[in-house]
Amino acid sequence: MRYLRTSSRTDDARLLELIDECCDEVSRCVAPKTLHRIFDCTVYEGKVVIGEYEFVSKRLAENLKNCKRAVVFGATLGTECDRLLRTYSAVDMTRATVLQACLASKIEEVCDCLEDGLRSQGFALRQRYSPGYFDLDITENEKIFELIDLTKRIGLSLTDTCQMVPTKSVTAFIGIEDD
């Protein structure tokens, strides 16, 4: 319901049935893939250096303050999701809207599972932070793609405007708090 921008409580049986149908379809069609690497990082005022790459962002630097390591990751639900969205967008906008919300929820679930796995290994993590939010320009995705080779390893690609394909994909940084 969160991704539909509606109340978390509804008595509309038709809407609830449509949500269930779309969530079931998402569960059948997604092929989640993730890739992460842990890097040493150096945090400066207004920028973070990971490997040979400099990420300019005051907010990212604040998020990673006092971290000496960071997780850099990519996650995707796969290409079938894009096909479903295109199909339903052409024939049933209501279903397409609900499907979009179910897919957004699913990619968040995939990211949360990646974080849970890292926590189960004993890592204390900061909040994830993605290009395109606040002052971390979306073009920084280019550096992330080079840093962890997302195209070759999990099939993600970037458009000339740095949008990811498949569209239900995420890249992010997660600071690791040192003991």
Q: pLDDT band for position 1 (50/70/90)?
A: very low
Q: Report pTM.
A: 0.90
pLDDT digits (tens, 9 = 90+) for 57-95: 999 999 999 999 999 999 999 999 999 999 999 999 999
Q: Could you tell me how many residues make up the chain?
A: 179
Structural tokens at position 161? 């405007």
Q: How far apart are CA 126 and CA 59, in angstroms?
A: 13
Q: Look up residue 38 and give its amino acid.
A: I
Q: pLDDT band for position 16 (50/70/90)?
A: confident
Other beta carbons less than 10 A from residue 106's beta carbon = 20
24 closest CA partner among 124, 125, 102, 131: 102
35 closest CA partner among 173, 154, 164: 154
Evaluate if residue 7 carries a pLDDT over 60: no
